[in-house]
Amino acid sequence: MATGKKAQRSKEAKRAGAGLLPFRALHGGRRAGAGRKPNGDRAGVPHDTRSALAARFPVHVTVKLREHLPPLRRRDAYQALRTAFAAGCDRNGFRLIHYAVLNDHLHFVVEATGRTALSRGVQGLLVRIARTLNRLWQRRGRVFADRYHDHILRSPREVRNALRYVLGNAHHHAAEGRIVTVPQAIDTYTSAPWFDGFRETIVVRGIEAIVRPVTEAHTWLLTIGWRRHGLLAVGERPA
């Protein structure tokens, strides 16, 4: 009888512990190689939650092209880009105010009514750009290396520094010996021809025949605030 009870208790104990077997976890948790992989050979922008955005703050956006694509600072590519900019510069609470085209990346200064409007506006603009460039280059596939990087500009000084950086970035690259040439006083591969914040008077021939690829700023920081630290000089370069 005792033997029977002992056997019964042994079976019940096995059943009770059946859900506690030490199975090795195969998914989830931190481990080497986990997470979404970058689109290029090197890691791009971290996939962290982006910070909230108030409508009063402009944003500096940067996006890189994939490797081994043709350079963007060519006449045909730039004409295609301006068409895409003009079509997507003012849509659903998103506004493209300034830009700079470099050989393998783009800079934007934008405004948006909030984080959602910024994300949708930038993504929509990048889709237009990718389709336009792929049509020009007669290819298919991804154009941009990874997600875009954004930096919220919260003060007049930050906005002025961002404008100086974006509009003078090619001059800065050329001074460093990179493969960028800027034969004019201002870089015409930027929105500088439409910029009214230079100390000097700038006249760009033929600009009246070009569809404006940017829109007017609405925020105080981009219209008035940054000017309190002085207008930009044509020869002013990023630090």
- For residue 237, what are the contacts with CB-CB under 8 A and spacing of at least 6? 164, 168, 171, 172, 175
Q: Quick one: pLDDT at residue 144?
A: 96
The model scores a pTM over 0.95: no
Average pLDDT, 10 consecutive residues per value, the chain (239 residues): 58 52 47 50 52 94 96 94 97 97 95 97 97 96 93 98 92 51 77 94 87 97 98 86
Q: Quick one: pLDDT at residue 48?
A: 53
Residue 178 contacts residue 105 (beta carbons within 8 Å)? no
In order of their start, the domains of the chain are: 59-229 (3.30.70.1290)
Which amino acid is present at 52? Answer: A
Residue 232, φ and ψ in degrees, nearest 5: -80, 140
Quote the CA–CA distance of 108 and 81 in Å, as a whole number.
Answer: 13
Is residue 158 helix, strand or coil? helix
Q: Quick one: pLDDT at residue 95?
A: 98
Residue 154 contacts residue 57 (beta carbons within 8 Å)? yes
Q: Quick one: pLDDT at residue 176?
A: 44
